[in-house]
Amino acid sequence: MTPADAETSGTGGGLRYLTEEACPDVVAQEQSHSCQVACARQLLIDAGVFVSEVELLAQTEYYEGSGTDATDVARTLTALHPDFEYAGGGSFLKYFATFMTIAPWIASLQTDSGSIHAVIVDRSVGDVVHIRDPWGASGPGSEFGCRATMALKDFKRYWRRAYYVVIYRKRPRQETQP
C-alpha cells in the first residue's frame, strides 16, 4: 500500500487518507452519487451474492445528482443479503466502538469538497481506520475501488459532518415460517 498524497487522495482529493491503493477485489461505483449502492454491492459480493450496480439501483430509490437514502439502501440490502438484516440512518459518535464490533459497516463522510461519500469501514486499529472506498483511482467507472487508511480523528470529523449516517447489519436474518 502506498502513502497517499494529501492533495490528491480519496474521492478525488476530498478525504485525507494515510494510504490508498486500488484493489481488484473492491468494486468501484459507476455513477457520480452511487457510492452507498456500490458499498452495498460490495457487502453482497462478500456474502457471495453477485449483482450489478444497475440491478441494485433499480431496486433502490436513486436520485440523479443527489444519490440515495441510507434507509432505502438498508432495505435493499436486507432484501438481498443471505445472512443479515440491515438498518440505516443517522447515529451518533459514541456508538463508533459498538459499530466496530459488527464491522464491516457503511459510513457516510462529508468530504473536504462538501460532497457526502459512503465508504465501508472494515476495522479500526489504534488511531487508524481501515476503509474500502468505491470511488476508484479515476472516479466513478474506475476498474476497481480502493483500500485505504485514515486517521481516526479525521474519520470522526468527516463522519460528524454527515451527521453520523450509517448502514449496518442489525441482526441475523429472521426466517419466516411458510
Using CB under 8 A as the binding rule, whether residue 9 contacts another protein is answered as no
What are the E-state strand segments in the chain?
Answer: 2-3, 19-23, 84-90, 105-110, 116-125, 128-133, 145-151, 165-172
Cell of residue 10, nine digits: 480519496
- The Cα 123–Cα 129 span in angstroms is 6
Q: Which stretch binds another protein (CB under 8 A): 9-17, 20-28, 76-84, 145-153?
A: 9-17
**Piece of 40-48, 76-84, 142-150, 155-163 that binds another protein (CB under 8 A):** 155-163
Residue in this structure with the C-alpha cell 444519490, named with its chain if needed: 67
Cα separation, 111 vs 14, whole angstroms: 5
**Beta partners for residue 53, in sequence order:** none
Least separation in angstroms between residue 6's CB and another protein is 13
Contact between 113 and another protein per CB under 8 A? yes
Region binding another protein by CB under 8 A among candidate stretches 5-13, 39-47, 48-56, 142-150:
5-13
Q: Which is nearer to another protein, 19 or 32 (CB)?
A: 32
Site for another protein in 44-73 (CB under 8 A): 62-63, 65-69, 71
Task: Based on the shown chain and the rule CB under 8 A, indicate whether residue 35 belongs to the binding site for another protein.
Answer: yes
Task: Check residue 117 for interaction with another protein (CB under 8 A).
Answer: yes
Q: Does residue 139 touch another protein according to CB under 8 A?
A: yes
Distance, in Å, from the CA atom of 35 to the CA atom of 84, rounded to the nearest integer, reads 21
Q: Closest CB to another protein among 8 and 25?
A: 8
- Contact criterion met (CB below 8 Å) for 36 and 118: yes
Could you say whether residue 112 binds another protein (CB under 8 A)?
yes
For position 95 contacting another protein by CB under 8 A, the verdict is: yes
Instruction: Single out the segment in contact with another protein by CB under 8 A; choices: 20-28, 92-100, 124-132, 144-152.
Output: 92-100
Question: Is the CB of residue 62 less than 8 Å from the CB of residue 129?
Answer: no
Alpha-carbon gap, residue 154 to 109, rounded angstroms: 10
Amino acid at 83: D
